[in-house]
Amino acid sequence: MAKANIDLTGRNFLTLKDFNKDEILYLIDLAQDYKDKKKKGIPVDDYRGKNVALIFEKTSTRTRCSFEVAASDLGMGSTYLDPSGSQIGKKESIADTARVLGRMYDGIEYRGFEQSIVEELAEYAGVPVWNGLTNEYHPTQMIADMLTVREKLGRLEGVKFVYMGDARYNMGNSLMIVCAKLGLHFVACTAKEYFPAPELVKQCEAYAGASGGSITLTEDVMEGTKDADVIYTDVWVSMGEPDAVWEERIKALMPYQVNQKIMDNTKNSSIFMHCLPAFHDLKTKIGKEIHEKFGITEMEVTDEVFESAKSVVFDEAENRMHSIKAIMAATLKPSEYK
C-alpha cells in the first residue's frame, strides 16, 4: 500500500506542478488500493458526514460521475452545480462563491476555463479545491492515466510516452508534467505550432533532469512514434474553443492522426490511450456535423485503433473514479464518527 509518511491533508489539487514524485506515486498507490477494495466489495466510507461541491462550468461525463460515485463510496454527500444553474461568475464573484461554499462543504471540485479561476477559488475557500479540468491543466486525469500505464506495462520509469495532437492545451501540458516528474520519456509529436509553451517545457526539462525522464518535441511522425510504449491523443478542438478553429486544426493535425501505421511503428507491447470523449466514428452529433462540413469520418484516432486490442481507453476511464477517490481521501480528513 501507499507510503505511510506522506500527508496531503488540507492540500489543494490544482496542477501536478505542486506535487513531488513521491506524492504523485502515493496518490497512484492509493488509487490502486481503493480499486482493489472496490473489486472485493470492502467498504471505504470513512468520510461519513462530509460533503463536497462539484462545480462544472463545462460539461462532463467521466469527471462528474467519478466525483459523485467516489464521494458516495467514501460516505460523503455531493452537490452538482451545472454550467448554467448557479450564480458563479454571473451574479457572484469567484471569491464570494468560494467563501460561501467553504462554509458548507469540506471540499470543492471546479471544472471551467482559466487556471486563475480555480486558483482564486482555492485562495478563498478555506477547504481543499480539486481541479476537474481547466484550459491549462487536467490533473485528476493524470493519476488515472499513470495508474493505467503502470497496470498495463508494469512500470512508469523509462516508458516512451508519445502525445499526438494539440500539445499546448490541458492534456498535453498535464501529461508532459506528470511524465517529467515520474521519469517517463515524454514526446510531443505534432505540428510545431501545437508544441507546448516554451516556459512549461523548460520547467518540465528540469523535472525530467531530476527524475531520469526526458522531453522531446518533434514534427516527425515516424521518428517520434518509433518503439513507443504509449501512444496518447485527445480531441483536436477542446471545450470552450470556437467552432471556427475546426478547419485549421484538421489541416494542421491530420498528419498526426493515430492510425494503424503509427501503431505498427511502436513496440509490440504498446498501448493506445485517450482521455475521452473521442472522435473516432460518426455516431455523435459533432462527428456528423464535421463529416458534413469537411468530409472526414474520424479525427484524432481511427476507429480501427480505437477498437483494437491495444486500446485501453475504457480501463483508463474506469480508473478516473478510483483516482478521484484517492485524491479526495488524501486531501480530506476522515470523519471522527465510529
Catalytic residues: 111, 138, 141, 234, 275, 320
Nearer to ligand NVA, 50 or 111 (CB): 111
Q: Which of 33, 73, 229, 234 binds ligand NVA (CB under 6 A)?
A: 234
- Binder of residue 266, out of ligand CP, ligand NVA, none (CB less than 5 to 8 A by kind): none
Query: Residue 267 Cβ, how far from ligand CP at the closest point, in Å?
Result: 25
State yes or no: residue 63 binds ligand CP (CB under 6 A).
yes
Count of residues near ligand CP by CB under 6 A:
8
Query: Residue 276 Cβ, how far from ligand CP at the closest point, in Å?
Result: 5
Binding residues among 238-297 for ligand CP as defined by CB under 6 A: 275-276
Q: Which of 60, 131, 211, 270 binds ligand CP (CB under 6 A)?
A: 60
Query: Residue 234 Cβ, how far from ligand NVA at the closest point, in Å?
Result: 5
Residue located via cell numbers 471546479: 110
Nearer to ligand NVA, 66 or 170 (CB): 170
Q: Which of 171, 262, 317, 327 binds ligand NVA (CB under 6 A)?
A: 171
| Residues binding ligand NVA (CB under 6 A) | 133, 169-171, 234-235, 238-239, 275
| Residues binding ligand CP (CB under 6 A) | 60-63, 133, 141, 275-276
